[in-house]
Amino acid sequence: GESVGLHLPTLSVQEGDNSIINCAYSNSASDYFIWYKQESGKGPQFIIDIRSNMDKRQGQRVTVLLNKTVKHLSLQIAATQPGDSAVYFCAENIFGSSNTGKLIFGQGTTLQVKP
Amino acid sequence: NAGVTQTPKFQVLKTGQSMTLQCAQDMNHNSMYWYRQDPGMGLRLIYYSASEGTTDKGEVPNGYNVSRLNKREFSLRLESAAPSQTSVYFCASSYRHLMNTEAFFGQGTRLTVV
């Protein structure tokens, strides 16, 4: 069935350390993955995406890794800052036979940054 | 440039009442979406409109209807609200349906049905 899951509901890291947030997906037909950040009281904000023909993509302080063999996605945040504290969602795009697609979200991981 | 604007921000309804959640975007995006978010869960797609003039069901469409009024506006209607529809509702838009990296979300509407 379709499911996107994150391994840990809460991740606590020290300011300045690197953070790694993991996500498992179940649909091998998924071809596009996105990480979103949601701060309290706000809507999700796009962070970075990756297509299924890639293994790695880097942004500013963030890196997304995709392992299609084990259906695993991770978000790495370098030098974590207090402003990174939020809930992080992975989402996968699944295209149906009509090629319209739908975005399935995971349950989210709360990142807490300790000063 | 406001991005995606949702109204209202908060609403309390009695069971059986109806209401319409409004969403407007000023980015000239083709595709718009309605999601709901429940505590401890990710977002679930209710309905979407891949382009002006089309709407399609998402994961959890029951109890909702939508209207793509024009390219800018996409409304979500609850005809007879139920407590199970208590949730935070997010509208989103993207230039192209699910293929564009620039997917923008509104600030959300917190709905309580008593």
Mind listing the pLDDT tens digit for each residue in A49-58? Answer: 998 899 999 9
How many residue contacts between A and B have a Cβ separation below 8 Å?
Answer: 59
Check residues B34 and A4 and name the one with the higher pLDDT: B34
Predicted local distance difference test score (pLDDT) of residue B100: 46
Residue B35 in tokens: 């999601």
Range A75-101 average pLDDT: 82
Flag whether residue B3 sits within 8 Å of chain A, measured between CB atoms. no
CA B33, distance to chain mean position in Å, is 6
Q: What's at A41, amino acid-wise?
A: G
From the list B41, B98, B102, the residue facing A103 with the nearest CB is B98
Q: How far apart are the first and last CA of chain A?
A: 40
- Cβ pair B59:A42 closer than 8 A: no
For residue B102, what pLDDT band results from cuts at 50, 70 and 90? low
DSSP, res B16? T
Distance (Å) from the C-alpha of residue A38 to the closest C-alpha of chain B? 10
A49 vs B contacts (CB less than 8 Å): 101
Range A50-70 average pLDDT: 94
Mean pLDDT of chain A: 86
**CA–CA gap between residue B108 and residue A90 (Å, rounded):** 19
Distance (Å) from the C-alpha of residue B44 to the closest C-alpha of chain A? 7
Is the pLDDT at A99 greater than 60, yes or no? no
Q: Concatenated DSSP letters for A75-89?
A: EEESS--GGG-EEEE
Flag whether residue A103 sits within 8 Å of chain B, measured between CB atoms. yes
Predicted local distance difference test score (pLDDT) of residue A97: 42
Check residues B74 and A100 and name the one with the higher pLDDT: B74
From the list A9, A44, A100, the residue facing B105 with the nearest CB is A44
From the list B48, B97, B108, the residue facing A43 with the nearest CB is B108
Cβ pair B63, B86 in contact under 8 A: no
Q: Concatenated DSSP letters for B23-92?
A: EEE-S--SEEEEEEE-TT--EEEEEEESSTT--EE-S--TT-EEEE-SSSBEEEEESS--GGG-EEEEEE
Is the pLDDT at A105 greater than 60, yes or no? yes
- Cβ pair B98:A32 closer than 8 A: yes
Predicted local distance difference test score (pLDDT) of residue A7: 55
pLDDT tens for each residue of B54-101:
999 988 999 999 999 999 999 999 999 999 999 999 999 987 765 545
Check residues B2 and A6 and name the one with the higher pLDDT: B2
